[in-house]
Chains A and B, each alone.
Chain A
Amino acid sequence: MKKTATLLIALAIVLGLASCQPKETKLYIATINDMHANIDNFPKLAYVLDSLRGVHPDLLLFSAGDNRSGNPINDRDSVPSRPMYELMNAVGFNLSCFGNHEWDSGVEALRDVMNIAKFPFVCANVTFDDSLNMPYQPYIILEQNGLKIGVIGAIQVGLNGIPDFHPDHAAGSHFHPIEEVLPEYLFLRDECNALFLLSHCGFEEDVETAEKFPQFDAIFGGHTHTLVDSTRLFNGVMVTQALNKVKYLTLNTFTFDKNGKMIAKESQVIPINKQKNIDPAVKSMVNEFNNNEVFLKVVGYNDAQIDDCYECLGCYMADAARALAGTDMAFQNYGGVRFDTLGVRPVTLKDVCSLDPFDNDLVVFNMTGQEIVDFLGVSFFTDGGPNYCSGCTYTYSVDEQGQMKDCQVKLDNGKPLDLKKTYKIVMNSYMSSAFKFQHEDPGTDIFRSSNEALIQYLTDHQHINYADKHRAIEK
């Protein structure tokens, strides 16, 4: 009798304990992508994350790449991207994958900031030369609330075999098509309660990956700056993305049954831009970065006063683009020069970024002399003024309809432009897209910015003198 009573009590305790066990477990992951060093939104982001963690203390936070590029305060720091990584540490990122822009200051600079990051990087379709000692891994298994969470990293690879960055920056990095690499890591499906792809491949490619690999529970994406504002399933795989520049984040919620099997998933985007509250400690960090003397760093010196002369500074911009691209000629549009006066004084990084705030890429074309003459006419009419140039000078007149005519181009070697010969020229990506000019060659983006060209040119030459520089002369 006594034995039976003991057994009943023990059974009651076991049943009681069992009834206390949660029937379901939730996993919360916040994902963000293409932050592009918009550090000014971090105080708001930090506030939102603190609020979310108040409700979901085990919230994980992932970045789907392109953490940098887009803000000189970050990108031109003495350790490029240090501000972003210190802020990402401060707001508690758990993981990041690489975006193509992570290579913009070269692979060694990427490694240096990865060593600042207090979170790991994953990418399955890149390998590095051993000598680089890159601190990354193809995938990671995180443990949270008794759940094993597998995350594989991926990056976009273009038709030229590398992501969208300048080929000079690829040294020591080797990229592989993601669909060829992923099967190697699908064993994680059996080892983990959840399997995710943290992808910087772009929304359309993520959808294709979802169609081919239903083993993933979700793909957290980036690269195309897409706002996926509700739960979107493709072949059962949830695909998310949260626009760009810290304007949104995605809150992903996964529900598991008592056996650890995922039974539900959903995503919602949370606006960051519209938040009025901020985290004061993070705000203070951002202020410190924005007051960074790096922005006031002297890049070179202007040796002669420039007054009311857009062309003078336009010639500097054209020379800089030509030097970086290594072309025969360069053209800079009239509307792309943002100030016209510069005193005899040191030129700071802030000056350079103010002169050319557009962050355009440089695009190289092979064009015949005739195509170049036509291009000068079209851009004059479209932009409302003459193109500034490097590697040549030209004269022109304007007819009653405001069209350029009688354009005569002379090369720097003194010879006239040969209308039948092909020349290599460079212009910014705004000009290449906006101006309707005939060109057999569609052009090649060299993935270097016009801004970068200005800084490089001034750094290399140290002194510039563009006073009274006129290369486009109206007759």
Chain B
Amino acid sequence: MSTEIKSPLPGVFYRKPSPESAPFKKDGDTVAADDVIGLVEVMKSFHEVKAGVAGSNIRFSVDDADAVMAGQVIAEVEA
């Protein structure tokens, strides 16, 4: 069954810890509940987004540096 991972905050979603780095997770990766899958920048401060659920085959529905709303689905995993 697929489970949605939602952004806890509104802001700009980043898939990489810094512009030069590799993404936290690639499409298809397996994640643990505590894994960081991205960052949300809100009002110039950065907040980690954790998967919150263990699962496989993660698929992101937003791109790096896309604007997101609080509660918007940012990825899905098979849990």
Determine if chain A interacts with chain B.
Answer: no
Interface residues of B (CB under 8 A from A): none
Interface residues of A (CB under 8 A from B): none
